[in-house]
């Protein structure tokens, strides 16, 4: 979902990481859907820290919602708020959103969105990005739609309103057949919980069930870690192109779209998903460790210590250490309590930058040849600062090993990426990047190596399952229509 935002100062949030934009959650058949949803969203907070919202329904009070800026723990824990959200069915959303500093976020952009239809109300929460949203929005406005937000996700509500179908799920199918791009959606009516994933299955969506002793409710969530927190059992992923509708404790599965070869986001395995989640039948932690092992094979170097850039580089650093036999150590310590405290930082606080969150373990790195393992290099600004800190602490050599291929293309499927010219790998060769970062060596895992690590032994064999890897390869599984209208050039065929 695309919308503007205002940005509290975060020293590691300087456009130097790709950011997942949203997490979604839904539950039905429980005594307090809001409590479960708040817990689920708390587990998904890494997918969006800017704002969150919950919508619930119960027969006595109808639909109710709370949508606020900030963390789930600050907004959905007090009795007075949770008392306003009664009911056995509910959905929720946490968001990050795109395009930092271009304006002020409005609360109207915070999901879930709600629409009142002839057959009753419906709320939706969307993770992903609609790549033809501009064209749809123009068309809808021409036909009389009045938009309440700047979000691409709102197009879905208006397309549903224009459908002539007699039920909400059928109207959703109609609407989503017009939509291009990536969508994992959790929606609800008075009695139905609905989950849909786009035909390519770009963004994840999982299905779970709560123990019968706890009420036996059904759960939909972006990741399995949101099932774990409420004690729900992971049943399966909602499949690419599938819509599940849950009502009266019964689940029906629908296939509203033309089948396509799935292209799930490979970056979920590298960075976005939590390491304790299961995706594509694999533990994210194990995959990241395998990436580190693969990286050690592809890019060995003689050194004294393997250190992660915490926290996201940690499993890959462990894998690199295990495969290379070079000891693993915490050469950089992260301050876990930093949060997004400095909403209006002074100049002196701004200048401290990365040091507010990361500190070098000086006694450990002094005089040592250090392999630093990080998940990605986007603009390279943080990598440069970390290298300076390590060298200031007396390290003899710094070798960067990166657990993803060079990020040379922007993502248009629900991930916040700088413009292409701001991506280091879009304008520099690997050697130029090494020199720019000022490190002794720099190596990225290859795309084939990444495919091997996520379990596709055949690498990028066209007969093997494929992923979306557009931010590395420039091969977009769905043409970004709106961006191309604005002049974005696709990679020329080789």
Q: In this chain, which stretch among 21-29, 62-70, 263-271, 357-365 interacts with ligand SF4, using CB under 6 A?
A: 263-271
Residue choice 411, 425, 445, 450 for contact with ligand SF4 (CB under 6 A): 411
Is residue 218 at the binding interface for ligand SF4, with CB under 6 A as the rule? no
* Of the candidates 207, 195, 229, 206, the residue with the CA atom closest to the CA atom of residue 42: 229
Helix, coil or strand: residue 193? strand
Separation between Cα atoms, residue 212 and residue 43, nearest integer Å: 22
Separation between Cα atoms, residue 421 and residue 252, nearest integer Å: 46
Cβ at position 225, least distance to ligand SF4 in Å:
19
**Are 200 and 176 spatial neighbours (Cβ–Cβ below 8 Å)?**
no
Cβ at position 276, least distance to ligand SF4 in Å:
20
* Burial (CB count <10 Å: 0-12, 13-18, 19+), residue 6: middle
Asked if omega into 353 is within 30° of 0 (cis), the reply is no
* Burial (CB count <10 Å: 0-12, 13-18, 19+), residue 165: middle
Residue choice 172, 295, 415, 481 for contact with ligand SF4 (CB under 6 A): 415
Q: In this chain, which stretch among 146-154, 162-170, 231-239, 408-416 interacts with ligand SF4, using CB under 6 A?
A: 408-416
Q: How many residues contact ligand SF4, by CB under 6 A?
A: 12
State yes or no: is 22 an active-site residue. yes
Query: CB-based contacts of 252: which residues, under 8 Å, 6+ apart?
Result: 244, 245
Is residue 291 at the binding interface for ligand SF4, with CB under 6 A as the rule? no
Cβ at position 412, least distance to ligand SF4 in Å:
7
Is residue 271 at the binding interface for ligand SF4, with CB under 6 A as the rule? no
Q: Which is nearer to ligand SF4, 296 or 471 (CB)?
A: 471
Q: Which is nearer to ligand SF4, 85 or 316 (CB)?
A: 316
**Are 9 and 349 spatial neighbours (Cβ–Cβ below 8 Å)?**
yes
Cβ at position 339, least distance to ligand SF4 in Å:
25
Helix, strand, coil distribution of the chain in percent, nearest 5: 30, 25, 45
Is residue 413 at the binding interface for ligand SF4, with CB under 6 A as the rule? yes
Site string for ligand SF4, 5-44 (x = CB under 6 A): -------------x--------------------------
Residues 368-387 within binding reach of ligand SF4 (CB under 6 A): none
Q: Which is nearer to ligand SF4, 44 or 360 (CB)?
A: 44
Residue choice 66, 159, 202, 323 for contact with ligand SF4 (CB under 6 A): 202
**CA distances (Å), 332 to each of 62, 191, 214, 275, 329, in order?**
51, 50, 43, 19, 9
One DSSP character per residue, 138-180 reads HHHHHTT---SSS-TTHHHHHHHHH---SSHHHHHHHHHHT--
Is residue 267 at the binding interface for ligand SF4, with CB under 6 A as the rule? yes
Residues 448-477 within binding reach of ligand SF4 (CB under 6 A): 468-471
Q: Which is nearer to ligand SF4, 36 or 409 (CB)?
A: 409
Cβ at position 111, least distance to ligand SF4 in Å:
19
Is residue 265 at the binding interface for ligand SF4, with CB under 6 A as the rule? yes
Is residue 130 at the binding interface for ligand SF4, with CB under 6 A as the rule? no
* Of the candidates 152, 189, 185, 150, the residue with the CA atom closest to the CA atom of residue 58: 189
Distance of CA 146 to the CA centre of its chain: 29
* Of the candidates 214, 212, 246, 248, the residue with the CA atom closest to the CA atom of residue 230: 214
Residues in contact with ligand SF4 by CB under 6 A are 18, 202, 265-267, 411, 413, 415, 468-471
- Which residues are catalytically annotated? 22
């Amino acid at each position: 979902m695309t919308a503007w935002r205002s940005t509290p100062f975060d020293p590691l949030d300087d456009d130097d990481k790709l950011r997942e934009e949203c997490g979604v959650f839904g539950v039905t058949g429980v005594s307090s859907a809001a409590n479960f949803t708040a817990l689920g969203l708390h587990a998904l907070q890494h997918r969006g820290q800017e704002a969150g919202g919950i919508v619930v329904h119960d027969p006595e009070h109808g639909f109710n919602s709370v949508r606020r800026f900030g963390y789930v723990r600050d907004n959905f824990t007090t009795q007075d708020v949770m008392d306003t959200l009664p009911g056995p069915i509910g959905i929720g959303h946490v968001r990050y959103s795109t395009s930092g500093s271009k304006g002020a976020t409005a609360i109207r952009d915070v999901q879930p969105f709600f629409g009142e239809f002839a057959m009753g109300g419906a709320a939706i929460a969307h993770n992903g990005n609609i790549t033809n949203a501009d064209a749809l929005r123009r068309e809808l406005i021409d036909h009389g739609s009045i938009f309440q937000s700047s979000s691409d996700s709102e197009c879905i509500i208006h397309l549903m309103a224009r459908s002539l179908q007699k039920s909400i799920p059928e109207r959703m199918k109609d609407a989503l057949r017009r939509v291009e791009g990536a969508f994992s959606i959790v929606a609800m009516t008075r009695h139905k919980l609905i989950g849909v994933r786009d035909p390519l299955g770009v963004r994840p969506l999982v299905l779970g069930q709560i123990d019968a002793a706890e009420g036996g409710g059904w759960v939909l969530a972006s990741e399995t870690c949101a099932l774990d927190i409420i004690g729900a059992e992971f049943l399966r992923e909602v499949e690419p192109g599938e819509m599940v509708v849950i009502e009266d404790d019964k689940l029906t599965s629908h296939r509203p779209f033309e089948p396509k070869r799935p292209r799930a986001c490979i970056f979920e395995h590298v960075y976005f998903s939590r390491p304790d989640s299961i995706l594509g039948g694999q533990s994210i932690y194990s995959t990241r460790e395998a990436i580190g092992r693969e990286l050690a094979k592809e890019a060995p170097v003689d050194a004294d210590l393997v250190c992660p850039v915490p926290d996201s580089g940690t499993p890959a650093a462990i894998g690199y250490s295990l495969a290379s036999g070079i000891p693993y150590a915490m050469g950089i310590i992260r301050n876990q309590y930093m949060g997004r405290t400095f909403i209006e930082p002074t100049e002196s606080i701004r200048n401290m930058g990365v040091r507010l969150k990361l500190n070098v373990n000086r006694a450990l790195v002094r005089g040592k040849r250090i392999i630093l393992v990080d998940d990605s290099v986007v603009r390279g600004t943080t990598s440069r600062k970390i290298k300076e800190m390590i060298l200031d602490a007396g390290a003899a050599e710094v070798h960067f090993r990166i657990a993803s291929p060079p990020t040379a293309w922007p993502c248009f499927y629900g991930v916040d990426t700088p413009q292409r010219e701001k991506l280091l790998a879009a304008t520099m060769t690997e050697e130029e990047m090494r020199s720019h970062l000022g490190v002794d060596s720099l190596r990225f895992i290859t795309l084939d190596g990444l495919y091997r690590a996520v379990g596709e032994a055949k690498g990028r064999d066209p007969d093997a399952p494929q992923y979306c890897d557009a931010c590395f390869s420039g091969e977009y599984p769905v043409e970004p229509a709106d961006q191309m209208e604005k002049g974005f050039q696709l990679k020329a065929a080789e």
